[in-house]
Amino acid sequence: MIAADGMSADAEKSMLAFFKEHGLGWWHRIPNFWLITDPRGNMTATVLRDKIQDLRSPGAKATLVMQIHEDITWAGLYPDGDSKHDEFDWLNQTWTKD
C-alpha cells in the first residue's frame, strides 16, 4: 500500500512505468493512494519509498509505504452507491473481500 503526497501527473506516469518495468500490479482509484501487488515477491517497501521520494514534488509532506501480507480483507463503497463502476474489479480479482 502506498500513500504519497505531492505526486504530479508526470510523477504518477513515471511511477506507473516503474510498476510495469518491475512486473507489479496496481490499483489507483483514490488520489495519492495505490495498492500494489508483486507476483515475483522481489519489491520492498524501502525501494518503493525511495522511488516515490525521487519523483514527488519538493515540499511534499508525507509518504507511507506499507507491506501487507496474505489473509487480508477489504470493504469499499462505490460512488453514490452506483455498482456499475469498475473501481473495485481489480480488488475483487486480486484480493478476497469482506
For 20-77, write each residue's pLDDT tens digit. 999 999 998 888 899 999 988 889 999 999 998 888 877 777 889 998 876 777 777 7
d(CA 39, CA 44): 12
For residue 3, what are the β-bridge partners? 33, 64
d(CA 93, CA 3): 22
Note the pLDDT of residue 61. Answer: 79
d(CA 84, CA 19): 27
| Three-state helix/strand/coil letters over 17-72 | HHHHHCCCEEEEEECCEEEEECCCCCCCHHHHHHHHHHHCCCCCCCEEECCCCCCC
